Amino acid sequence: MWGVQTQFGKGNKGWGGGKGGKGSWAPGGFGGGYGGGFNGGGFGGGFDGGKGWGMMKGKGKGKGKRTGPSGPLLERTRMSEAPVTGEVAEWKGKYGWITPTVPIEHPLFEKHKGKLYVSISDLAGGLTQLTAGNLCQFHVFSDASGLGAEEVIGS
């Protein structure tokens, strides 16, 4: 056995887990033998759950990237013929929410608590942002996510 050996818990053979090979500091292994060492299950499962160094592929990577369009890239259908007036409820840098002054009669209107989505790409007249509390004019559209505002002016 190489190095200093100490007992960490029941069944553990020391730092590297004992008898050379996979479970010890000896050539051929680094933890995971009889007692578990760094990788094995002898002392609390090891640092990486007993899977070995670099064997945690796929963990913590989330669901991956979405496929297909989202946000302002969804296919839209214009709902209004004339511009509608509303108040900017909030602006979050690249998108925000507008509350129309007159509620819109549409099944999706309450989906976002009566607010319409607006993207920075929907701003017209050289606007780069909206200010909460200001009035604006816009056209209403619907898409797969609900209702939104496009060609927004004012504020």
Residue ranges and CATH numbers for the domains of the chain are: 1-59 (no CATH), 75-154 (2.40.50.140)
Would you give per-residue pLDDT tens digits along the chain (155 residues)?
555 555 555 555 555 545 555 555 555 555 444 554 455 555 555 555 555 565 556 666 667 776 666 677 888 999 999 999 999 999 999 999 999 999 999 888 889 899 999 999 999 999 999 999 999 999 999 998 899 999 999 85
Say what the pLDDT of residue 25 is.
54
Say what the pLDDT of residue 128 is.
93
Which residue matches tokens 């898409």?
143
For 7-19, what is each residue's pLDDT tens digit? 555 555 555 545 5
Give the separation between CA 37 and CA 20, rounded to whole angstroms. Answer: 11
Residue 143, Ramachandran bin (φ over 0: left; ψ between -120 and 50: alpha; else beta) = beta
Question: What's the pTM?
Answer: 0.56
Say what the pLDDT of residue 39 is.
52
C-beta atoms surrounding 120 within 10 Å = 17
Give the separation between CA 64 and CA 74, rounded to whole angstroms. Answer: 20
* Rg of the Cα atoms in the chain: 30
Say what the pLDDT of residue 27 is.
55
Helix (H) or strand (E) run with residue 141 in it: strand 135-143
Say what the pLDDT of residue 52 is.
58
